[in-house]
Amino acid sequence: MFSKSTSEPDLPVPGAPAPQAPELAEPTQPREPLPPKPDQDGPETVTATGVATGAPKASTAQSGQFLTTAQGARLRDTDHSLKAGPRGPVLLQDHHLREKITHFDHERIPERVVHARGAAAHGVFTANGAAEGVTQAGFLAKGVETPVFVRFSTVLGSRGSADTVRDTRGFSTKFYTAEGNYDLVGNNIPVFFIQDAIKFPDVIHAGKPHPDREIPQAQSAHDTFWDFVSLHTEAQHHTMWNMSDRGIPRSYRTMEGFGVHTFRLVNAAGQTTLVKFHWKPKQGVHSLVWEEAQIINGMDPDFHRRDLADAIEAGAFPQWDLGIQVFPDTEDEMFEGIDLLDPTKLVPEELAPVQVIGTMTLNANPTNYFAETEQVAFHPGHLVPGIDVTNDPLLQGRLFSYIDTQLTRLGGPNFSQIPINRPHAPVNDMLRDGFHQSADHSGVAPYQPNSLDGGCPFMAGADMGAFIDVPVEVPAARKVRENPATFDDHYSQARMFFRSLTPVEQDHVVQAYTFELGKCYEENIRLRQLQSLANIDKRLAEDVAAGLGLTAPAPALDVADTAPSPALSQLGGSWPVAGRVVGVVADETSDLASVAEVLAAVHAEGMVPLVIAPHGGKLGAEITVQRTYLTARSTEFDAVVVAAASGAAAPDAVDSLDAKAGNPGGHPSLDPRVTLLLTEAFRHAKAIGAWGDGASVLAAAGIPAETAGVVVGGAAEVASGVTALLANHRVWERFPAA
């Protein structure tokens, strides 16, 4: 991480690939491997059975100065196969060749069917004690600090897809508690498409690329998805969230998380409470605009994972408060008329406020993506005493599905022994053998009861921290394939969500439905979905229909109105600015002293300033350039400020060299890529600033100085003004809602 000191002329910028800069010449002097970067961490060094080893985390990394085989034999050459003469055939006895190629051929494991593309980080969760009255879970006692590993992901895309697609995001947290691992496996949307896990293959098959052509990738803008959700109307609420700005988050750091299901907590007295889990980002909930997302998918498909890693490296550690909505554990498992076992429903925060029970800070990046992010195995059945499940039919199916998935992905039943999955509590499970068994079990009696191993392992009582399944009474019933009648309402909460949004957010929902349905080939699918929209909101259906060139149908159902929930809107708050990225446009004609002043001011707020100039290298003797007009794009920056006295065209602003250089109708003296940078930032409602002659650059780019969110003045005034605007994420008042 970097220091907040501003005395150094070059402010550190995250993104260096190695812990030290390489020399120009190839190194030839043998040395031990470099340590991880300061922002990186790895799993705790516990044994396969959960015993702390005391060894440093780096002890699991490669060691030694020389290249070896997997068996430790040193090698003198890894560039040439062993051959019968320089032009002869390769010999079968070349063990190094065979070992190297064999391992390479098996480097990949099956990617996750869903949530294949992910990014993760290490951190710590600190409980504040507010949950002690409702659960005996030890990690939620006041002041307890628990290591965590968190993985964020998209649902539909493959591992190689882009980050900023419109999709649901996974938000899964592994708590390494003293009572065993607890996994809170959730999403950034509090509801789901389906009410019963038996429909999970259907919704995913509908959302995935068409099986004949394997397109489109990582998106729902196609016929099979809308065919399914327009017929299976319980999906309408989740679909509405996906079509909102929640479907294209600005970063993982500004994304809410939800446990989705209702869980049952048990306190020390055996009393039970029903709860829903919420992760609330300290930096507020913030999203991209649609054009931004499209540009980023081409410019930087790794945008979200890069943002997370860079923020941690820069010391702007992402934080979330963990909260619970608490409900009485009544026989009907209802609250204010809402069925708590229906995963397509939420409980408005105005009816059940979210009570904060602790804070999570992510403070270290993984050392190895495959070993940690790719091999981490979450499971909603990984519970600890004090937390139990309910009869939510989607959750019940997940309790089977997740463990079944790991058997194929991770090569057998011993996936819990992979370092990132190992509990930090003693393990004595009597499970033996199997693929990738890395524990060296002792004893002769892996069964219970036994006397040959002295009776070990023994059963634990409730007073010894045993996990106790809550003895919930199951009423007499018939075996049926049915849902309760309370599951039948598919529209009222979708209506509540849409009507809880501000007008600008509603405009974005209209745009999203119009785009997605416009990508469908079959008109009957568009008409069928318009019918669902008509059931939700008349104006929504009419506006989408107008964009599609169709007539909005009349509602087919009498849907109950529900009071709006202001908590569902992303707008209206003020949030910390740490970790935001500010682009500073400058050139040799700029007042470099004021540029240094602004860079220091931005850095002092915990933000990352990046200098954008006509060329790389330095401006003057001390200002390092991080981006050029060629490599910069507005989507990387939360705000742009201009110190360039001219913005004149750089030498590479030639149509044949850079497609962005075309500037029909633009200002003849301004580099067209500066125009593009500023006009994109302007229409994406971002803060813009300029001082000195930079104001003339804004004018040349057609940016009116008197418009909302544009700050013109002295360097210090611009820095403070833009910082204040960033606390609100965007300047939505620049563009009144349609």
Residue 378 CA, chain-centre distance (Å), reads 15
Angle value at C-alpha 609, between 608 and 611, nearest 5 degrees: 145
Long-range contacts of 90-98 (CB under 8 A, 24+ apart): 95/69, 96/69
Distances (CA, A) of 671 to 174, 644, 652, 710: 49, 11, 10, 20
Sign of CA dihedral 662, 665, 668, 669: negative
Distances (CA, A) of 397 to 157, 171, 274: 22, 19, 19
Distances (CA, A) of 263 to 215, 393, 395, 489, 684: 37, 12, 9, 22, 40
Per annotation, catalytic residue among 181, 187, 188, 663: 187
Query: How many CB atoms neighbour CB 107 within 10 A?
Result: 7
Asked if residues 486 and 339 have their Cβ atoms less than 8 Å apart, the reply is yes
The Cα–Cα gap between 467 and 137 comes to 10
Q: Which residues of 413-438 are buried (b: 16+ CB within 10 A; e: fewer)?
A: bbbbbbbbbbbbbebeeeeeeeeeee
DSSP states along 525-575 = HHHHHHHHHHHH-HHHHHHHHHHHT-PPPPPSS-PPP----GGG---S---
> 25: exposed, middle or buried (C-beta count within 10 Å: 0-12, 13-18, 19+)?
exposed
Backbone region of residue 465 per phi and psi (left: phi > 0; alpha: psi in -120 to 50; beta: other values): left
Residue 123: CA atoms inside 13 Å, Cβ hemisphere, count?
24
Sequence-distant (≥ 6) Cβ neighbours of residue 126 within 8 angstroms: 143, 144, 145, 146, 358, 359, 360, 361
Long-range contacts of 138-142 (CB under 8 A, 24+ apart): 138/177, 138/178, 138/179, 138/384, 138/385, 138/386, 138/465, 139/175, 139/177, 139/178, 139/179, 139/182, 139/384, 140/357, 140/358, 140/386
Long-range contacts of 617-625 (CB under 8 A, 24+ apart): 619/586, 619/587, 619/588, 619/590, 619/592, 619/595, 620/588, 620/592, 622/9, 622/10, 622/592, 622/596, 623/9, 623/586, 623/592, 623/595, 623/596, 623/599, 624/9, 624/10
The Cα–Cα gap between 185 and 379 comes to 7
Per annotation, catalytic residue among 96, 115, 261, 684: 115
The Cα–Cα gap between 617 and 450 comes to 72
115 as an active site residue: the answer is yes
Total count of residues recorded for the chain: 738
Query: Among all residues, which ones are annotated catalytic?
Result: 115, 187
